């Protein structure tokens, strides 16, 4: 099974990448500046800020080259050198070196993806894990949109920034105008999954919610999430194995809520530590500027919501 092709090697995209050292395993961009989101008016080629992710095999080498090429992109941490920067990246938060308000031109999707089988397997495994986790939190019957809303919401479950700093309609805004993209991305996984009956023509799905079915799904979750669920359910001192605990959870009517709690605990700890780290990596002034833009966007999202009297 292969990922859908989003790669584009046009002149515009090559020019964007030329701003940075070229030793990428994976490079992509996302956000409302790339994919249209419901409630935004600027669209793909507007002035929305674009979020980029660069995955590299050797952070020390990459930061060494980028410090020479784009020293102004870094905060005061540039004085510590590439090894310390890489240590800060890898040892804290979500193992991401975050920066913001970096001026580059153009709008992109998937830019570079090397042919590493290990990387491709990891990307596909991530998609499958998102689907399985969502199955566990959804009812027996649901729509494609229900599924995509659940998947898109995984990254924000437990994120403190959804309380203050993000538009509360962010998840639905992402999904509403990108149903077709999401359908392409997940179609093969849904059709190949024995745990679900997928009816793409009707846009409907039915998943196995029996204890046996849920146990199979729980056993297919990432190890980190299984361990979080285990710690939530198993009282200290019993030391039961993971499989025994997941079998118990599979028979629990609140199985989906337990999975949701496990995901939220992972996202919460990561979002807090990564945000604190971001103040150092992006710099205080950039952080304040970026955060203020987020707060304004959240406020505008609140104002767009109709009141109860307007709905009646």
Alpha carbon distance 31, 202 (integer Å): 29
Alpha carbon distance 297, 304 (integer Å): 11
Alpha carbon distance 31, 44 (integer Å): 9
Please, which pLDDT band fits residue 285 given cuts at 50, 70 and 90? low
Alpha carbon distance 164, 100 (integer Å): 19
Retrieve residue 147's tokens.
Answer: 């599924």
pLDDT for residue 312: 29
Contact 83, 140 (CB under 8 A): no
Q: What mean pLDDT do residues 44-51 have?
A: 56
Higher pLDDT, 91 or 143: 143
Contact 251, 140 (CB under 8 A): no
Contact 40, 24 (CB under 8 A): no
Contact 38, 173 (CB under 8 A): yes
What's the pLDDT tens digit per position in 244-274? 999 999 999 999 999 999 999 888 877 777 7
Alpha carbon distance 83, 97 (integer Å): 13
Alpha carbon distance 193, 130 (integer Å): 13
Q: What mean pLDDT do residues 26-52 have?
A: 63
Tell me the sheet residues that pair with 205.
Answer: 142, 198
Nearest-CA neighbor of 86 among 272, 77, 286?
77
Nearest-CA neighbor of 175 among 199, 197, 153?
153
Residue 10 in 3-state DSSP? coil
Nearest-CA neighbor of 123 among 267, 3, 5?
3
Alpha carbon distance 242, 97 (integer Å): 33
What's the pLDDT tens digit per position in 78-135? 999 999 999 988 888 778 888 877 766 544 655 566 666 788 888 899 999 999 999 9
Within its chain, how far is the Cα of 127 from the centroid? 10
Helices 242-250 + 223-233 axis angle, to 10: 70
Higher pLDDT, 110 or 23: 23
Task: Give the residue extent of every domain in the chain.
Answer: 1-114, 118-271
């Amino acid at each position: 099974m292969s990922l859908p092709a989003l790669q584009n090697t046009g002149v515009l995209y090559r020019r964007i990448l030329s701003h940075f050292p070229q030793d990428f395993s994976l490079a992509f961009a996302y956000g409302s500046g790339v994919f249209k989101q419901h409630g935004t008016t600027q669209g793909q080629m507007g002035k929305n800020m674009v979020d980029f992710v660069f995955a590299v095999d050797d952070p020390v080498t990459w930061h060494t080259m980028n410090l020479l090429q784009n020293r102004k992109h870094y905060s005061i941490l540039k004085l510590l050198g590439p090894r310390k920067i890489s240590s800060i990246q890898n040892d804290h938060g979500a193992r991401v070196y975050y920066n913001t308000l970096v001026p580059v031109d153009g709008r992109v999707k998937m830019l570079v993806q090397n042919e590493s089988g290990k990387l491709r397997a990891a990307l596909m495994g991530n998609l499958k894990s998102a689907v399985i986790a969502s199955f566990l939190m959804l009812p027996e019957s649901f729509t494609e949109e229900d599924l995509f809303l659940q998947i898109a919401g995984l990254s924000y479950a437990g994120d403190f920034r959804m309380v203050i700093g993000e538009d509360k309609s962010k998840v639905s805004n992402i999904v509403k105008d990108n149903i077709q993209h999401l359908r392409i991305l997940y179609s093969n996984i849904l059709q190949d999954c024995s745990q679900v009956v997928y009816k793409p023509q009707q846009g409907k799905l039915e998943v196995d919610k029996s204890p046996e079915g849920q146990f199979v799904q729980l056993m297919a979750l990432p190890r980190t999430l299984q361990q979080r669920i285990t710690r939530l359910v198993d009282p200290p001192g019993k030391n039961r194995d993971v499989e025994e605990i997941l079998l118990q959870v599979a028979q629990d009517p609140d199985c989906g809520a337990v999975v949701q709690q496990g995901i939220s605990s992972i996202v919460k700890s990561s979002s807090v530590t990564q945000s604190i780290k971001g103040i150092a990596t992006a710099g205080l002034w950039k952080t304040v500027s970026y955060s203020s833009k987020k707060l304004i966007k959240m406020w505008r999202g609140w104002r767009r919501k109709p009141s109860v009297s307007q709905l009646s």
